[in-house]
Amino acid sequence: MKKNGPWILALLVYGLFYYLDASASKLLTFLLAAALAQGSILLVAAAELSNAQWIAPLRKPLMGMWPLFFIPCLADPDIALYAWSHQPTAWLNSAGVAFRSHILFIVSFVIAMMFIRAMRKGSERRRAWAVAYIFSFVVSHSVMAVDQVMSFDYPWISTMFPALYMVEALYAGLALAGIICFFLSRRGACPPATLKDTATLTFGFALFWGGLFFAQYLTIWYANIPEEVHYLQARFHLPWGNALFYGAVVLLFAVPFFSLLANPLRRIAGAVLFFDGVILAGLMAYRTFHLLPHVSFNPLLLVLQLAALAGAVGWMVRTGVGEA
């Protein structure tokens, strides 16, 4: 209990700030927590299916992120924030969204725990559980993106939107892996090959994210259909709209991609840590860009929630690194 006490306390504090928050600050931190929770386990599952050896020193710390699942499993969406709550549809209604937001994440959490248990025991069924977890991740994260983010702009839809959220969850998992690499390196427990491979994958996902992002933007810009263009116009007309849009592109694509083109930087743990922090900041900027036209934020509660979330993640990383 002494070992788990700090992250339990941090999650309880986060929950307190979450339920005190009547603004959309809690949705912003919820989206980041969901990406970190699912992305960290997703990275281990993908590595297991691809027989990747580089992840071996990171496997236990990444699987140790499972308590973050409590946030998406227990967080109750604030239906009043959505315009469709006054005119519900067959899919977008308070009961349906609340049910899906809890049940799908709980199912994903249960499958994640079965996968982690199989991995720790070296069970022959661990690959089957990895496949099951990836499937549950695709369903739960896609539905979350549609129900809790894209539905703000209903009836606007984008088939690329859920795909971007899924890629960003794995991107967040890679950023967390790089942070773990830094702390393992300080203990001499992270082989240079693991650090380099983690940085190389981060470099690849920066390009992958940039491609998906550009594909969505190009489709909207080139078609120039009013029903689609208003999504970007509503955000670009805001005081911070352009800064958040271009800031997300710089932080999620330009900085990690062009910096990690330099092969020597992939071998420097401190540089990798910096770029991973930039990526997580970029995710926050891009999530804010999605939410800002429709909601308001409480700066104080946002900072407190982020601090509590960072405290929980930090202690889990410390515990995982100590056990690696």
Render pLDDT for 239-275 as a digit per residue (tens, 0 to 9): 899 999 999 999 999 999 999 998 899 999 999 999 9
CA distance linking residue 272 with residue 196, whole number of Å:
9
CA Rg, the chain, in Å?
A: 19
Task: Report yes or no on 168 lying in a domain.
Answer: yes
18 to 11, 12, 289, 304: CA distances (angstroms) = 10, 10, 20, 9
- pLDDT at residue 182 in the model: 96
Query: What is the dihedral angle through the alpha carbons of 43, 266, 167, 99, rounded to the nearest 10 degrees?
Result: 50
Task: Report yes or no on 67 lying in a domain.
Answer: yes
Expressed as residue numbers, the domain containing 62 is 5-319
CATH of the domain at 304: 1.20.1630
Amino acid letter at 267?
A: R
188, burial (CB in 10 Å: exposed 0-12, middle 13-18, buried 19+): exposed
- pLDDT at residue 69 in the model: 95
Task: Report yes or no on 86 lying in a domain.
Answer: yes
- pLDDT at residue 77 in the model: 86
Residue 1 has pLDDT above 60, yes or no: no
Task: Report yes or no on 324 lying in a domain.
Answer: no
Residue 26 has pLDDT above 70, yes or no: yes
Domain count, the chain: 1
Render pLDDT for 120-160 as a digit per residue (tens, 0 to 9): 999 999 999 999 999 999 999 999 999 999 999 998 888 88
pLDDT class for 73, splitting at 50, 70, 90? very high
Task: Report yes or no on 171 lying in a domain.
Answer: yes
Task: Report yes or no on 201 lying in a domain.
Answer: yes
Mean pLDDT score across all residues of the chain: 92
CA distance linking residue 179 with residue 58, whole number of Å:
10
- pLDDT at residue 157 in the model: 86
In the chain, the N- to C-terminal Cα span, in Å, equals: 19
Instruction: Quickly tell me which residue has 């930087």 as its tokens.
Output: 265
Task: Tell me the mean pLDDT in the region 184-213.
Answer: 94
Given a contact cutoff of 8 angstroms between Cβ atoms, the answer to whether 92 and 154 are in contact is yes
> How many CB atoms are closer than 10 A to CB 88?
15
Q: Which two tokens stand for residue 84?
A: 């469709």
